[in-house]
Amino acid sequence: MERNARHGVTTHGAIRGVGAAVIMLLLGVPAAAQSSKLKNIDLCNGVGVVSPDLQINGCTALIDSGAETPKTLAIAHNNRGNVLTKRSEYDRAIQDFDQSIKLNPSNAKPFNNRGMAYQKKGEHDRAIKDFDEAIKLDQNYVSAFVNRAETHRIKGEYGRAVRDFDEIIRLQPALVAAWNERCWVRAIAGELQSALADCNEALRLEPSSAATFDSRGLTYLKMGQWDAAIADYGSALRLRPNLASSLYGRGLAKRKKSDNTGGNADIAAAIAIEANIAGTFARYGVK
């Protein structure tokens, strides 16, 4: 069970994602050519409801025109790479990000985006190297910190992940997802009091977050506070009834309280949703 599957979207859709860039239309272009170029710019920028194929076509037209500045070409390669990443065409995406970086090596976005493509390929060390470079170029680049934190978490480097979430919270202290994610990572790492404080702050900022109730449920479960864990998992399930991690965690807590019937029912429901849930919890130090 990846963290994204547990939450439904990556970090609540709040602090992750690729860095798109916007191509601007320059003056001095003949009217007919300007109209065609403007159409391709809008497509490449993803203006309006644009299909992935059309966005790729718009970027490709700009790249192949032979008439664009290096800056425009860098943005077009970056934007096309983003679409290819979303389509899971990671090698092609990386080639575009390579070109974007070659054309404009001072732009942090294609480093971050290439890192995401490497992360999705499972090449985590190369991903971290790119996130490092993106942050070196822009020390306030929240998405790069988030992506690096997630990659460290995948590698089991929880201390490094926590340090990245420290930076994210410093930059955006009201960002609920950051407090929740740091709670989750700390709970996995066994830093339970710190995890609890983070989840409490996340719930203060957003009292109806299923993901945070789930994170705090794990924290209480690892603390051995069965009733509190059951209550939080129940709150998460009222908001998201099919959240497998909350069903499984509540089932474990019920078993600890000798409610085997209720516990087994919750665990069976969780496994029906996510077959490998038991192995995931075992990796989190909970059996």
pLDDT surpassing 50 at residue 144 = yes
Is residue 52 domain-resident? Answer: no
DSSP state of 51: -
pTM: 0.85
User: In the prediction, which pLDDT does 21 show?
Assistant: 67
Highest mean pLDDT among 19-33, 36-50, 142-156: 142-156
Residue 39: per-residue pLDDT: 86
Give the single-character DSSP code of 10: G
Residue type, 215: S
Amino acid at 110: P
Handedness of CA 97, 98, 102, 103 (dihedral sign): negative
The residue type of 263 is G
Tens digit of each residue's pLDDT (9 = 90 or more) over 249-271:
999 999 999 999 999 999 999 99
Looking at residue 165, its amino acid is: F
* Structural domain of 267: 191-287
pLDDT value, residue 22: 62
Q: Which amino acid is at 234?
A: G
- Has residue 30 been placed in a domain? no
- Say whether 87 sits in a helix, a strand or coil: coil
For the chain, the domain total comes to 1
Residue 169 has pLDDT above 80, yes or no: yes
To 5 degrees, how large is the angle CA 201–CA 203–CA 204?
60
Amino acid at 183: C
- CATH number where 219 lies: 1.25.40.10
Residue 210: inside a domain, yes or no? yes
Residue type, 123: E
Residue 56 lies in a domain: no
For residue 177, is it within any domain? no
pLDDT in tens, 226-252: 999 999 999 999 999 999 999 999 999
Q: Across all residues in the chain, what is the average pLDDT? A: 90
Give the pLDDT band (50/70/90) at residue 48.
Answer: confident
The share of the chain scoring above pLDDT 90, in percent, equals 81
pLDDT digits (tens, 9 = 90+) for 145-154: 999 999 999 9
251 occurs within a structural domain? yes
Look at residue 245 and tell me if it is in a domain. Answer: yes
| Proportion of the chain above pLDDT 70, given as a percent | 88
Q: Which residues, 6 or more positions from 153, have their beta carbon under 8 angstroms from its beta carbon?
A: 3, 161, 185, 188
For residue 214, being part of any structural domain is answered with yes
234 vs 34 pLDDT, higher one: 234
